[in-house]
Amino acid sequence: MKPVIAIIGRPNVGKSTLFNRLAGRSKAIVIDEPGATRDRNYAESAWNERPFTLIDTGGFEPASAVEILVQMREQTTLAIEEADIILFLMDGRDGLTPSDQEIARLLRMSQKKTFYAVNKIDGPRHEALVSEFYRLGIENIYAISAQHGQGLDEMMDAVSEHLPIAKPTSEEEGDRIRIAVIGRPNVGKSSLVNRILGYERTIANPTPGTTRDAIDTPFSRNGKKYLLIDTAGIRRKSRISLTLEKYTIVQAIKAIERADIALILLDAKEGISEQDVKIAGLAMERGTACVLVVNKWDLVEKDNSTFGTFVEDIRYNSKFLEFAPIIFVSALSGQRVTNIFELVERVYAQYTKRIETGELNRKIREIIENNPPPGRQSRPHVFNYITQVAIKPPTFILFVRNPGTIHFSYERYLVNRIRETFGFEEVPIRLFFRNKGE
């Protein structure tokens, strides 16, 4: 599981610029206007070969009563709680402000490992601006320019020394099917966990945010070993808002990275939401197998078209998960909950399946001969051979003469045919094209 680094600070001190530089791409909005970043932004990154998840946060104004700034402050507070390491960014041009001092006080109370940086130190003529920040009583303050990259190497080298080296999966955890229960707040994650286990392992409460941390529970069922990962929802029981609903993301990321299969819970009364799609997208990006679990199905008034309409809506709003199986359950009554394990076993078998190279190449030749790709400048594509290089998810490399000229539509065709031919209908698969010499 990757450690989490959160970048915090007042509005307009350069947090998003630093985020983009460390993430290696322009993922956050950067404009010269305080408060441009309102929701937390996430990226996978690494330094000195140590990976981490990076969070960009909205501006932190400790004393503001303006509603949007209050929500941004709550957002940042949650980021601090989730993070393993904090990068506290201040603005050298503005000098040390009362807000900076209040944030520093809060960080000392949090007892999180914090690195203090003064931004916009773009050259020697600005270095004198750093001196007043030592009034915070901090021994190491890093003078950096997020825009130009100056001083970042020194700071991030120090940060990387405190990043834990990824631990290998323990033998106890490795021989179990790891199932993460993820979803928006109050969709019934803890109720489903309790129903699966048959006892009150977690607090099930209608107040969103009852679960504070991910909870791991090893258990066995019908001779099979599992590890169930229940994830936290919103971390506050008050002031629930649309903005605050986005705070499930970090917990979902952490759980997905450890899981073989993600049970993505949807609320039958509310249907699939934008947040559900975002959480499902996180699983898809990481190649985690998914089962879409529609909970509270017993509370929905039904007619002959209800089931079909609901499935159609899910498929339409999450086209990238068209392969994932869907099951309708009630965690409260237990309706069809045991059927989840039939799906888990079936999906896991596909997720860990390996295809012999000879059979793979015979079938792929037939697939290509039946529908060859269009040539480029009258030159046909030459496909040499294919091999499976990994499971979890099943991953294939197809060696071709001109990998960069394969159209995405033909790649999609090959992926779909590999699914159908080799029995990967319900799991994500990855297909890469390489030159034969690579």
CATH of the domain at 110: 3.40.50.300
Residue type, 243: T
Question: Is 108 a member of any domain?
Answer: yes
* Cα radius of gyration (the chain): 25
pLDDT, position 399 = 92
Task: Tell me the average pLDDT across 342-357.
Answer: 96
Q: 75 and 46 share a domain?
A: yes
What's the token pair of residue 232? 């936290």
Tell me the residue range of the domain where 111 lies. Answer: 4-161
**Pair 345, 338: CB distance under 8 Å:** no
Distances (CA, A) of 397 to 32, 132, 390, 400: 44, 56, 10, 10
- Which helix (DSSP H) or strand (DSSP E) does residue 110 occupy? helix 98-110
The model's confidence at residue 249, banded by pLDDT at 50, 70 and 90, is low
Q: 80 and 185 share a domain?
A: no
Picking from 107, 135, 161, the residue at the C-terminal end of a domain is 161
pLDDT, position 296 = 93
Which residues pair with residue 227 across a beta bridge? 178, 218
pLDDT, position 205 = 42
Q: By mean pLDDT, which of 85-99, 135-149, 159-173 is the weakest? A: 159-173
Residues 277-295 as b or e (16 or more Cβ within 10 Å = b): bebbebbbeebbbbbbbbb
The model's confidence at residue 116, banded by pLDDT at 50, 70 and 90, is very high
pLDDT tens-digit readout, 32-43: 434 333 344 677
Residue 369 has pLDDT above 60, yes or no: yes
Q: 175 and 324 share a domain?
A: yes
Question: Is 34 a member of any domain?
Answer: yes
Picking from 111, 136, 161, the residue at the C-terminal end of a domain is 161
The model's confidence at residue 248, banded by pLDDT at 50, 70 and 90, is low
Question: Is 50 a member of any domain?
Answer: yes
Picking from 120, 143, 161, the residue at the C-terminal end of a domain is 161
Q: 339 and 370 share a domain?
A: no
Q: 153 and 10 share a domain?
A: yes
Q: 302 and 423 share a domain?
A: no
Q: 138 and 207 share a domain?
A: no
What total of structural domains would you count in the chain?
Answer: 3
Closest CA to 182 of 113, 241, 231: 231
Q: Sort 247 into a burial class: Cβ within 10 Å, 0-12 / 13-18 / 19+.
A: buried
d(CA 346, CA 364): 24
- Which helix (DSSP H) or strand (DSSP E) does residue 78 occupy? helix 67-82
CATH of the domain at 390: 3.30.300.20
Task: Tell me the average pLDDT across 228-242.
Answer: 48
Q: By mean pLDDT, which of 122-131, 183-192, 246-255, 367-376 is the weakest? A: 246-255
Question: Is 166 a member of any domain?
Answer: no
Cβ neighbours around 85 below 10 Å, total: 17
Distances (CA, A) of 290 to 65, 351, 397: 41, 10, 23
Which is more confident, 180 or 67? 180
d(CA 252, CA 364): 36
Q: 18 and 82 share a domain?
A: yes
H runs (alpha helix) in 162-319: 171-174, 189-197, 249-258, 274-285, 306-317
Q: 277 and 149 share a domain?
A: no
Edge to edge, the sheet with strand 215-221 lists 215-221, 224-230, 177-183, 261-267, 289-295, 326-328
Question: Is 110 a member of any domain?
Answer: yes
Residue type, 299: L
pLDDT, position 367 = 93
pLDDT tens-digit readout, 282-316: 888 889 999 999 999 999 988 888 899 999 999 99
Residue 322 has phi, psi (to 5 degrees) of -65, -20
pLDDT, position 240 = 36
Residue 423 has pLDDT above 60, yes or no: yes
pLDDT, position 204 = 41
d(CA 182, CA 271): 16
CA pseudo-torsion sign 318, 322, 323, 325: positive
Q: 320 and 191 share a domain?
A: yes
- Strands 395-400 and 383-390 turn out to be antiparallel
Residue 1 has pLDDT above 60, yes or no: yes
- Cα within 13 Å of Cα(143), Cβ side: 17
Please, which residues have CB within 8 angstroms of residue 348's CB and are 6 or more apart in sequence? Answer: 177, 260, 261, 289
Residue 199 has pLDDT above 60, yes or no: no
CA pseudo-torsion sign 72, 181, 279, 164: positive
Please, which residues have CB within 8 angstroms of residue 377's CB and are 6 or more apart in sequence? Answer: none
Q: 286 and 362 share a domain?
A: no
pLDDT, position 236 = 34
The model's confidence at residue 103, banded by pLDDT at 50, 70 and 90, is confident
pLDDT, position 154 = 95
> Considering the entire predicted model, what is its pTM?
0.66
Q: 408 and 273 share a domain?
A: no
pLDDT, position 114 = 95
Question: Is 196 a member of any domain?
Answer: yes
Residue 30 has pLDDT above 90, yes or no: no
Residue 327 has pLDDT above 90, yes or no: yes
**Pair 272, 187: CB distance under 8 Å:** no
Q: Sort 222 into a burial class: Cβ within 10 Å, 0-12 / 13-18 / 19+.
A: exposed
pLDDT tens-digit readout, 46-59: 898 888 888 887 77
Task: Tell me the average pLDDT across 2-31.
Answer: 77
Question: What is the residue-averaged pLDDT of the chain?
Answer: 81
pLDDT, position 134 = 94
d(CA 57, CA 12): 11
Task: Tell me the average pLDDT across 342-349.
Answer: 96
Residue 186 has pLDDT above 60, yes or no: yes
